[in-house]
Structure 1
């Protein structure tokens, strides 16, 4: 049980979930190796971190109990208004979407620790945590410790944060609140916050002995001391003091209105945070002669006089005020030499040091700014001696000056250029001091896998640690989301991508994605194509899915095939089967991906030409019966016939087949979805072997908006309990058809899937099947359409179905107003959904009245 430090002031350290007295630290350090080894042996609970961080973000936004505790601690070394502003910034930084965006932006993946295939090759790579990271934080910069901890946790590290003995309990209370919000109960194993003086070198060296990396903030002397104490080979990540400045180009200075706007913006940069941030300007360069400097200084003074009162500040302490006084006195003394001038606020709130000599100079801060002239051709020579300390330049220039000045500034050593007035601002995923922080806290590892992993795309599929399942398993039981509920979901921002689904019912619905979510789902789905037998280094693939009309299949598979690095022929769906066959023959396409019914029609028309050329068929959108699969394999010589993916425009990728799956059996994409199968008539898990409704909860890592929780996608299935011989731990299920395949005709309910299955298993029928519901006077008619030229007559179809569908046969013999008949039809008469080209399974022509 954690102890509140306010109630027990003798507790100085937050040690992996408990508050600890100072005299117990040495004893804990002696046993630290065992804790590190045990913790790092387990996968890092990334989803729990995201959930806990979001909880803290919500509390800070809503001014909750954690906000009040942290605000009181923050006010010990900063003003009340500034403390509130900084906590609001922390709330924004802790948002789940912000942290996920950082993972994607800095490490390229939402699950960077998963060993993923580098397509089209056989190698795997991942960003793994450094291990144990010791953070040496600056004193009295309370938010740096908290957000630095979050960064390192996001990378998956175990963290020991060393604070100054003078620091408040802000970072420790933040860590305690974060661990308390952890739904999985393991985050505390990764977090320790210690407070002791840097002069206690024996304690610091004992910590460093356990470190895989040391993240250090401070000046040159402090950083050098840490490097000296660090064990050989340990990565030292430095975040030292930096210098930033403003630059006003000649084209801006020549435009009175633009000059005034830029000076006012720089005045804001000078006042914000009292220049305590590394990105605050300490010098403002003017691209002009020294003779113009005093006039511009007067304009800057006017801007400061207007802006400074609008930005709350904090008075400097005695030491800081002494430095300001000393610098001001020296500048005044040099005025007699014609080199300098001091312009001050009468109330002492700000000051400008005008200096005609070249060079970048650090100011005494607290709204003190050097104003210096510079010529563009002197820029690199002037700044380069300070290159190791340079950080931000606030640049005011016209568009014609932008490229040459940007090049010169970066060449001089600047790592960041911003607009005036925004020097202390940032954006999600921005590099810091020229690097991505998350890459500093991780290491890039690679695996050249054995031949047995030929069809494995992610090693995570071999481990029981997928987030979607764990998160959903802990979530409270939410109500089942219907199609109508899904359509009423509103994304907080306009969507980047909209797909139109024809739907198995033929009723169009719309599904929205952000670009990051779309690409994350597609990149997760590529491993399914590999699992099914596609070989990106050698196959040549024709994409035959439907394109246009806002339909998603062609676009989605284009993205997946591009990610795989496979050779692609983007033909799309067409009824010109001769043209398709010509391209396949000419380009030696050996693999087809497309809609099942369209691929079958292609082989029915041009199969003889494709024999011996097409080796693999990956179908989607519809089920392919056993007889149709066998027809492709035995009659046309296709060696691999598998599902390309099981998914929907609404929910994204759902299932995939491996080389041991056949028919309607799939693995769940557990990195993307948590799947439940509940009873058809009630909300309870199905029993072993029982068919039920498929519900999906999409991982927030891969679908943040709109959030899909327990969505009934309209399909039915059953679990397969036995392990798959392929070795993957993703659960297996067997699709049992659409819940909409169930229809009422006359008295009982019938299932269209059973008609197809009976024709398949009993007659080896490999053609299309469609149910038409009609009225003949008072009779209800089930008219079964089958294709011409597949060797099954109408009478044979009726006879075999009645023989193997007892409920239908009973209804035919009761004398009720009911008829069942079959009709053979040419392919072009079958009804298809316009947007997808899928065969519509049931066509109801009855009068609804």
Structure 2
């Protein structure tokens, strides 16, 4: 197991979870191929990687945990200020939100390694690892080695990072810290860091022979040396030095804001970034160029003292001196002019000859006149080395200049003042790094996969342990800060208490959840290639049902008829028949009302074959009404979910009633005892606690959703290995009337034993010492059957038998009630199952 105390680590190399002395490396390299072959077939622990990186991000931000050892080691190779800044930059990149955004931007999915179906077709695609990636890291920036390792892991590869023998151990300590933070204990098998001199050609050849990709950082000479050693079968990915520049178009010559932005770009990081400007091209003549130089000098004099800098070393200073000396020699010829800070903090080298010249850096900028007609020809010789252009142009010039710059080889155009900035998910040097370390694969499987949206479910899920925090109940959830500044969608819910509640979702999280729910509907029997679906969920008033299923059906590329929850059942039936809709999605009360009002017409047509419902479960009798009397062939839950926690479960063709598979991509589920925070034993009934995995804000952990359930043991006949659970009513369905009783038993008895398909509501009252339990049913109920129901309940339900045996003062009655009198949730209209009118209830 990886060790956690980084300060005690010894050894030249970090080798897949162990520290190793230099003399052990040759033998270890001989076994590298076998290690790769044994590791790659395993499912990569992506969620564990995200959790571990997020933990390290928090430690680096708080300067706790691994920070001390990494900072101390980094200070051996760079100034303390630079070390601290680079560690904070790493923290920002390692945060969960940043990692997930990088996955989505570069690989198109938060789960890029999962074989995902291309709806409505039958084929599956995924990003698969290339295999073994060897990272040849630069010696001057320790973050490149660490973050290169992380990128290799994000693509699922086995990674070996090669650093020079003179480098510090930041990358190795980082790998050890990542392994220590890994909740799965599997990441160490994917990480090695070797301090290996480039002169050891034998070891490098042995290492590269096992590589499927070699990712190399460095200048032309260093990359050429690596290229000579890389075998023909391996992909070589190079990250060499780049040249960036600014361009000030004629229509922005007088824009001091743009010019001040360029001054800041020149000073920031002392031009050490590849995206820093080395030349500022100006669309003007020689006289105009001198005027720009004077204004730029005034701006640099003001801006430079505001931005801390680093003095060049002797070799770097010598290069600056050489460039300035040559320019001074050319000045009498009218070719050049130098404007220099008296303290030597910055310098402008004006050159009347058009072109792009590399700068000696450290706030040294070439200023050159370049007409836009010259741009393409001047830039083309540098095409392979171009990166960023800071562009200052007016509206009329923006499109044509952008086209010229991009066609000439520039891969990135920014605003002046923001050349060294970036954004989450940005490409690097014209490519997405993760795509260079992965390969796109496809699977066209047999017909048995017809009802599978993704193939991960066929293997045991990689479920992280539940967080060790107290249970979050409804009141705790409502006290969370839910106003997320990055939210893209806000929906409302009545909530089980009747109080209006709001939930917000970030767009990325929302689409991840809807994609998983779409896979769940396919598992339940929806056929995207042939079904025609009418969406009957409620729309408007900030409700999320209709728009969620709009997104789900759009993701499936299935034909959708957006009808919504209308009271005009005749119109709905007419449109079902007109458009040949064979599948309906909606809430049970509306669907049942539709078939009650238009059942004869729909049965005569006979085209509705599938119903997917959401919001509340159908009783067994209601399901029989739809299948046996209305001719519907398939009735399934569309999804088990909530506005609070998102989608939680889905059904398959072999799971009916209230049995669902867990959405393991989206949720962690615990079932704990009703009276205490302890896991249930076996398939005992308990409270459901969910921890959403695709919910960025608010972070919800161990949320008591308000439902009871039990684990369903044994494998499912559908072949999926995602665990199953059975819903057994709301926690509010449990009430105490002497012994504990459950609403679900009363409703099930009426539905299953007596074929009753209407609403059931329990009302508890006190009459002196007696407890009165009234079962409200529809006024269509045959009252002559009431005595038989009461007798059946007392005979079959153990809590009622206890009441009878103990001769408790208890009365059970059946009451026929008009539908309008049933008590419903004021916000959502859902039936409230148990109404307790007793004093103190």
Structure 1 SS opposite 2:391:
strand
Kindly report which structure 2 residues correspond to 1:133-172, keeping only aligned pairs within 5 A, or say none. Answer: 133-172=133-172
Residue 288 of structure 1 pairs with residue 277 of structure 2: no
Which residue matches 2:762? Answer: 771
Give the C-alpha shift of residue 622 in structure 1: 1.5
CA–CA separation in structure 2 for the residues paired with 1:501 and 1:530: 26
Residues 207 and 492 (structure 1), Cα distance of their counterparts in 2 relative to 1, 3 Å cut: farther
Partners in 1 of 2:4 and 2:634 — Cα distance?
Answer: 62
Secondary structure of 1:445's partner?
strand
Aligned partners of 2:826 and 2:387: how far apart in 1?
57
Task: Tell me the equivalent position of 2:275.
Answer: 279
Separation in 1, partners of 2:8, 2:68: 16
- Residues 397 and 609 (structure 1), Cα distance of their counterparts in 2 relative to 1, 3 Å cut: same
Does residue 1:842 correspond to 2:834, yes or no? yes
Q: How big is the shift at 1:124? A: 0.8
What is the aligned length? Answer: 834
> How far off its partner does 1:709 sit?
1.6
Against the structure 1 CA distance between its residues 295 and 786, is the aligned structure 2 distance closer, same or farther, given a 3 Å change threshold? same
Structure 2's unaligned 5+ residue stretches are: none
Tell me the residue number matched to 2:745. 754
Q: Cα 1:356–1:659, aligned 2, differ >3 Å: closer, same or farther?
A: same
Moved more, 722-731 or 399-408: 399-408
Equivalent position SS for 2:66:
helix
Alignment of 1:74-473 (within 5 A): 74-254=74-254, 258-259=255-256, 261-466=257-462, 469-472=463-466
Classify the secondary structure of the residue corresponding to 2:333: coil
Structure 1 contact 719–733 (Cα < 8 Å) conserved = yes
Question: Which residue in the other structure is 1:29 paired with?
Answer: 29
> Which position in structure 2 is the counterpart of 1:614?
608
Q: Which deviates further from its counterpart, 600-609 or 777-786?
A: 777-786
How far 1:77 moved relative to its partner?
3.7
CA distance in 2: counterparts of 1:811 and 1:793, whole angstroms? 27
The answer as to whether partners of 1:549 and 1:835 remain within 8 angstroms in 2 is no
Between 1:15-24 and 1:36-45, the stretch displaced more is 15-24
Task: Indicate yes or no: 2:583 matched with 1:580.
Answer: no
Q: In the alignment, which residue of structure 1 is the partner of 2:544? A: 552
> Could you tell me how far apart the structure 2 residues matched to 1:62 and 1:228 are?
44
Q: Distance in 2 between matches of 1:2 and 1:635?
A: 65
Residues 505 and 740 in structure 1, CA contact (< 8 A), matched pair in contact too:
no
Where 2:756 maps in the other structure, the secondary structure is coil
Q: Residues of 2 paired with 1:749 and 1:781: CA distance?
A: 15
* CA distance in 2 between partners of 1:162 and 1:337 (Å): 50
The corresponding residue for 2:791 is 802
Question: What's the secondary structure of 2:448's corresponding residue?
Answer: helix
Residue 673 (structure 1) aligned with residue 667 (structure 2): yes
The Cα offsets for residues 185-209 of structure 1, whole Å up to 9 and x where unpaired, read as 2222211112233232222221111
Query: By how many angstroms is 1:677 displaced?
Result: 1.5
Q: Which stretch shifts more, 324-333 or 779-788? A: 779-788
Shift of 1:321: 2.3
Partner Cα separation in structure 1 for residue 73 and residue 839 of structure 2? 72
Secondary structure, counterpart of 2:185 in structure 1: coil
- 2: CA distance, partners of 1:596 / 1:459: 31
Aligned-partner Cα distance in 2 for 1:616–1:797: 34
Contact 1:597 1:768 (8 Å CA) reproduced: no
Query: Once the 2 structures are TM-superposed, how far is the Cα of residue 817 of structure 1 from its aligned partner?
Result: 7.0
List per-residue Cα deviations over 1:750-772 (Å, max 9, x = no partner): 43222211111211222222334
C-alpha displacement of 1:819: 4.8
Is 1:43 matched with 2:35?
no
| Greater shift in the superposed pair: 548-557 or 312-321 | 312-321
Alignment partners' CA distance in 2, 1:553 and 1:117 = 24
Instruction: State the alpha-carbon separation in 2 of the partners of residues 663 and 386 from structure 1.
Output: 67
2:498 counterpart (506, 520, 531):
506
Superposition deviation, residue 456 in structure 1: 0.9
What CA distance in whole angstroms lies between the structure 2 residues aligned with 1:455 and 1:762? 33
Give the Cα–Cα distance (whole angstroms) in 2 for the partners of residues 481 and 413 of structure 1: 54
Matches of 2:480 and 2:456 in 1, distance apart? 31
TM superposition shift of 1:8:
8.1
**What residue number does 1:489 align with?**
480
- 1:491-544 CA distances to partner (integer Å, 9 max, x unpaired)? 583333222222344333232322222221111121110011000110011111
3-state SS, counterpart of residue 138 of structure 1:
coil
SS in structure 1 of the partner of residue 465 of structure 2: helix
Cα–Cα, structure 1 residues 33 and 784, in superposed 2: closer, same or farther, change >3 Å?
Answer: same
CA contact (8 A) 2:6 2:177 kept: no
CA distance in 2, matches of 1:86, 1:56: 14
SS of 1:470's partner is: coil
1:251 CA drift (Å): 2.4
Measured after TM superposition, the shift of residue 75 of structure 1 is 3.1
1:734 CA displacement: 1.4
SS of residue paired to 2:814: strand
| Distance of aligned partners of 1:425 and 1:189 in 2 relative to their CA distance in 1, 3 Å threshold | same
CA distance in 1, matches of 2:372, 2:572: 61
Task: After TM superposition, give the deviation of residue 219 of structure 1 in Å.
Answer: 2.1
Instruction: Indicate conservation of the 8 Å contact 2:6/2:69, yes or no.
Output: no
Once the two structures are superposed, the pairs formed by residues 823-842 of structure 1 within 5 Å of their partners are: 823-825=815-817, 827-842=819-834
CA 1:607/1:166 → structure 2, altered by over 3 Å: closer, same or farther?
A: same
Q: Can you list the C-alpha shifts for 1:11-41, whole angstroms capped at 9, x where unaligned?
A: 3222222333333221111111111112212
Say if 1:597 and 1:622, in contact at 8 Å, map to a contact too.
no
Alignment partners' CA distance in 1, 2:363 and 2:307: 11
Quote the offset at 1:550 in angstroms.
2.0
Task: Name the stretch that deviates more: 688-697 or 795-804.
Answer: 795-804
